[in-house]
Structure 1
Amino acid sequence: MSPVLFPRGFTRDYLDGKIKRSALTSKIVSSFSSISKKSDLTIVEGTGHTGVGSIVDLNNAQVASLLNCPVILVASGGLGSSFDELSLNRTQCEKHGVKVAGVILNRVLEDKRSMIQEYMTKALKRWNIPLLGCIPFDSLLSQPTMKDFQQLFQVELLAGPEYCLRHFEHIRLVASSPETYRTFTTPSQLIITPADREDIILATLTRYWDLKIAHPEDNVEIGVLLTGKNPPKQALIDQIRKAHIPMLYAPVSSFAALKMINSYTAKIRLEDTAKVQEAIKIVEDYIDFDSLLEMLN
């Protein structure tokens, strides 16, 4: 989608004069013009803050200026720290003559949303910039899927590919005894355990079939991430496949896997209809499109 890509060594080549800014701006303008001719409204997404891209003289504010596009600043839900971030981003826009059409706060905690909306509106009045939306935190949009984990660990599912878009509310690293593990098993849970912990894997399968027998119409929404140097035995893989439990194996330690997951940001995929519909609903409910269109016009 981006007309300009930054492969390895791109920045050094630009600074060495091997890549000209004029060639980059030409690609950007040409692509924007081509898309705009076919659309009533064109949205250009800027990655990160307004200063991203400065090393090649094409940061987000500069691109907005080049395309004569007003900017909507999106900040994390908060008050003081969010306003500080907005101030830094607004400075770049002012420097390059870009109009800031409004601000949207994202992932705002519900119990603070009314307060933040009231006081951020007051703070933005000094810049004569409207608060266009105050979007509450939505847990579903932050929940990773097995497909996210495939991408994160660069591996394929060993079982349950039909549930690659299953979401998980809970992620649990299991290093306890099977007895303790069974006591705290909950729905919508990803289990992380070493591939050689056959006792945990078999306990998971036993729990799955117990629930399935008791409630055959219910979908037991669990997933398994196996870790460690040694891959799981084929016999265990076959049993998990029979249960249609989505499972993958990552050749890293459980601790490293959990650390990677905690630093990973789940994206909304086009094929993930549950997240797409949730995102559409929350945007429609919490963004003032009338004010947005008024500012753009």
Structure 2
Amino acid sequence: MCKKIFVAATGQHCGKTTISISLLHLARQMYGQVAFMKPIGPKCMTFNDIVVDKDAALMAGIYGLEEDIAFMSPVVLGRGSTKQYLDGLQSREAAEERIREACNKLESKSEFLVVEGSGHGGVGSVIGLNNARVARAVDAPVVMVAGGGIGNVIDAVELNLPLYEREGVEVKLLLVNKLLPEKREESLSYLRKAFAPRGLMVAGAFDFSPVLADPTLAHISRLLGHPLLGDTSQRNRIIHHIQLGAASSQKVVDGLLPSTLLVTTSSRDELIVTISSLYHIPEYRERIAGLVIPGHAPISPITQQILTESGVPYLRIVETTAEVFSKVTDHVSKISADDREKIDLIRSSAERVLRGGVVEELLKA
């Protein structure tokens, strides 16, 4: 009989996908055949000629599950899908049946199945299939992932739990993620005290990690919709700081922090030349991750030559500096199958933090 677990979350960006990667990694060490499913897919892409949710494609890419991709993402909500459900052109019953059939198929060939929810508990309500109802449909106990903190975690969990209680789904564990290392034990102690009356177990997941939280150059390239130029072998370099090149060249250079992405308008020839020249120096190469060069003004031919010859990774985009800076600073990094450094860190962290505790007990239950 296939064991299952449903990974829920109190909201977006709690690290639900990171936890799913970790659970799959640990489960693969305990069971011969492990599967993954994202029943409701709000963010779709084409993978092996099939439209699937991005997280399903991610897990297939990481763990070699491509042959099961058709069952890993049974319901995808593309553009216009919600209106079709509200107009009666698609039905909740049909979507729920597709989810059950896909789950049964994966269960029939697996010993352990990780089912990942979408966003907070209410996501999917527009088609009558919120996370709690989906967890009931696949008959899986729930691990709820929350971000770090105390009060905000309690508030978020209390908003989500009634949905699962209404559907008669058991929430086995609250897994608190992105904890501040210096406050980890204190936060977990208070959260255990807060949820003790509910009988809800609380465990700590990963501490906040800039490596996992910060985007790569490839992410920024996809976000802005422009190709990475220069040394593209650096596409998976992680950006830890984003700086606006608005001050004098000297002040900008003095303010460079490790692995900085510099956003500077195309009319700042002197700054582009300075950064390009410094990129040859190892000390500064550690600080300069790359350039984003927005603006309608063309880059002068000599500046372009120096920029090209330097090899510094850059993106050239004809938008205003304000628009581009807002996009990259508001961006929340999502893991891709190419992010080997991040994936390796997740796996090693899972071995160190989650193995041997209540999470491993839950995988064996």
TM score, norm. by length of structure 2: 0.75
Rounded to whole Å, the distance in 1 between the matches of 2:318 and 2:333 is 21
- State the 1:64 CA deviation: 0.3
- State the 1:192 CA deviation: 0.6
- State the 1:180 CA deviation: 2.2
Rounded to whole Å, the distance in 1 between the matches of 2:230 and 2:300 is 13
Rounded to whole Å, the distance in 1 between the matches of 2:127 and 2:311 is 49
Checking the alignment, whether the CA contact within 8 Å between 1:175 and 1:193 is kept in structure 2 is yes
Rounded to whole Å, the distance in 2 between the matches of 1:238 and 1:33 is 59
1:35-58 CA distance string (max 9 Å, x none):
223322111111111111111110
Rounded to whole Å, the distance in 2 between the matches of 1:132 and 1:112 is 14
The residue number in structure 1 matching 2:169 is 98
Q: Identity, % of aligned pairs?
A: 29
- State the 1:157 CA deviation: 1.2
- State the 1:34 CA deviation: 2.1
Rounded to whole Å, the distance in 1 between the matches of 2:109 and 2:288 is 42
**Counterpart selection for 1:24 from 92, 95, 108:** 95
**Counterpart selection for 2:224 from 139, 149, 153:** 153
The residue number in structure 2 matching 1:275 is 342
**Counterpart selection for 1:36 from 107, 114, 139:** 107
1:161-220 CA distance string (max 9 Å, x none):
1111111221110111223223333431111100121111001022223x24xx79x766
- State the 1:233 CA deviation: 4.7
Rounded to whole Å, the distance in 2 between the matches of 1:29 and 1:68 is 9
* Structure 1 segment 256-275 matched on structure 2, within 5 A: 256-275=323-342
Report the secondary structure of 1:135's partner residue: coil
Aligned length: 293
Rounded to whole Å, the distance in 2 between the matches of 1:125 and 1:204 is 55
The residue number in structure 2 matching 1:224 is 291
1:112-134 CA distance string (max 9 Å, x none):
11100111122222111211324
Checking the alignment, whether the CA contact within 8 Å between 1:160 and 1:241 is kept in structure 2 is no
Checking the alignment, whether the CA contact within 8 Å between 1:71 and 1:98 is kept in structure 2 is yes
- State the 1:234 CA deviation: 5.6
**Counterpart selection for 1:62 from 133, 143, 155:** 133
Checking the alignment, whether the CA contact within 8 Å between 1:132 and 1:287 is kept in structure 2 is no
Rounded to whole Å, the distance in 2 between the matches of 1:234 and 1:50 is 54
TM score, norm. by length of structure 1: 0.91
* Structure 1 segment 57-136 matched on structure 2, within 5 A: 57-136=128-207
Which structure 1 residue ranges, 5 or more long, are not aligned?
A: none
Larger radius of gyration: 1
Query: Which stretch of the first structure deviates more once superposed, 285-294 or 49-58?
Result: 285-294
